């Protein structure tokens, strides 16, 4: 579905990604783990087109997308739930959801259906539909960001550090939701996480990024038990 091939990305003169390759198929969760500053978010932004790549190729559904702008990628069905949520603080919860479907021209019937689906998956959001999004708690904002991402019926969804800044109980909830929605929608999910344990627990395959280079990759269950991974990322 998505194939990233030997991508190099620079921030100014600094090389943030060096020949990074990964791929994801139709119905799986792939996680990308690594320390702070390893290049995980850069990789996401390179795929989305927010940051331009220097060399390499990115293919989605067989087509080259490495030169496309973010809004085009969104229209083509790639949704990115960014690091830090990035919801619209001065819009209500419902309005945020509405903006999620902006790139599609849904009839009001269809969009109401989508709202209902979303409220079923996230009952808390239904309660707070008319509330200003900026006043929600961290966990609720994350739920909102995820729900918003689903409103455009994406073909691929990428999560960037969804557990960041959330209490452990909420983190559990969030990952629960991610698993549920992948099973319900059968779409590929890319999960970028610092919380390696959670990420490896729910994903099928994983890649480890170190200083902009893919140092390890394989089945998540294998990586979970690898001593080097355990030491570096799972607290010994």
Partner 1 sequence: MISTATLVQAIVSGIAMGLIYSLVGIEYTLIWNTTGMLNFAHGKVITFCGYLFGALCLKQMGLPLVWSLILALVLAAILALLMSSSIFIPLRTKDNLCCILATVMAGKILYEAMRLIWGAFNVGIDNYFPGTINIFGATLPATYIYVLAIAFVMVVALQIFLNKTKIGKGMKCVSQNKNAASLMGINVTRYMRIATILSFVVCCFLSILLIPLITLSKEMAEMIALKGFAAGIVGGFGLIPGCTVGGVILGVVENLACIVIPSGYKDVVAFVLLIGFLLIKPSGILGKKAK
Q: Which of 6, 54, 67, 75 binds partner 1 (CB under 8 A)?
A: 75
Among 74, 93, 136, 166, binds partner 1 (CB under 8 A): 74
Using CB under 8 A, pick the residue from 48, 178, 196, 208 that binds partner 1: 48
Number of shown-chain residues binding partner 1 (CB under 8 A): 25
Take residue 80 and report the two structure tokens written for it. Answer: 């990115």
Shortest distance (Å) from residue 206 CB to partner 1: 24
> Position of tokens 């979970």?
224
Instruction: Show the binding pattern over residues 5-34: x = contacts partner 1 (CB under 8 A), - = does not.
Output: ------------------------------
Identify which of residues 131 and 215 has a Cβ nearer to partner 1 in the complex: 131
Considering the complex, state which of residue 141 and residue 182 has its C-beta at the smaller distance from partner 1. 141
| Identity of the residue, 178 or 232, whose beta carbon is nearer to partner 1 in the bound complex | 178
Between the two ends of the chain, the Cα-to-Cα distance in Å is: 35
Strands (E) across the chain are located at 2-11, 14-24, 29-34, 55-60, 63-64, 78-81, 156-160, 189-193, 205-210, 213-219
Question: What part of residues 136-165 is at the interface with partner 1 (CB under 8 A)?
Answer: 148, 152
Among 69, 110, 180, 186, binds partner 1 (CB under 8 A): 69
The mark string for 159-198 relative to partner 1 (x by CB under 8 A, - otherwise) is ----------------------------------------
DSSP string, 130-198: TSBGGGS-HHHHHHHHHHHHHTT--SEEEEE-TTTT--HHHHHHHHHHHHHHHHHH---EEEEES-HHH
- CA–CA distance, 201 with 205 (Å, rounded to integer): 10
Residues numbered 80 to 109 that lie near partner 1 (CB under 8 A) are: 80, 82, 86-91, 95, 98-100, 102-104
Using CB atoms within 10 A of its CB, is residue 53 exposed (0-12), middle (13-18) or buried (19+)?
buried
Binders in 201-230 for partner 1, by CB under 8 A: none
Sign of the CA dihedral 8, 2, 104, 148?
negative
Euclidean distance between CA atoms 213 and 67, whole angstroms: 22
Residue ranges that bind partner 1, judged by CB under 8 A: 48, 50, 69-71, 74-75, 79-80, 82, 86-91, 95, 98-100, 102-104, 148, 152
């Amino acid at each position: 579905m998505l194939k990233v091939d030997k991508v190099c990305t620079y921030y100014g003169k600094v090389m943030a990604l060096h020949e990074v390759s990964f791929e994801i198929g139709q119905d799986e969760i792939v996680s990308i783990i690594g320390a702070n500053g390893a290049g995980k978010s850069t990789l996401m932004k390179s795929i989305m087109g927010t940051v331009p790549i220097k060399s390499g190729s990115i293919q989605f559904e067989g087509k080259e997308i490495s030169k496309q702008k973010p809004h085009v990628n969104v229209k083509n069905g790639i949704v990115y739930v960014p690091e830090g949520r990035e919801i619209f603080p001065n819009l209500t919860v419902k309005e945020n959801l509405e903006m999620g479907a902006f790139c599609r021209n849904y009839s009001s019937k269809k969009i109401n259906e989508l709202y209902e689906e979303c409220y079923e998956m996230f009952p808390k959001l239904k309660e707070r539909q008319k509330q200003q999004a900026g006043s929600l708690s961290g966990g609720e904002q994350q739920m909102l960001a995820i729900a918003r991402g689903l409103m455009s019926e994406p073909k691929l969804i990428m999560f960037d550090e969804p557990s960041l800044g959330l209490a452990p109980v909420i983190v559990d909830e969030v990952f629960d939701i991610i698993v549920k929605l992948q099973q319900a929608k059968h779409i590929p999910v890319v999960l970028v996480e610092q919380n390696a344990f959670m990420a490896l627990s729910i994903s099928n395959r994983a890649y480890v990024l170190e200083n902009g280079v893919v140092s390890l990759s394989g089945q998540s269950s294998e990586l979970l038990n690898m001593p080097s991974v355990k030491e570096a990322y799972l607290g010994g």
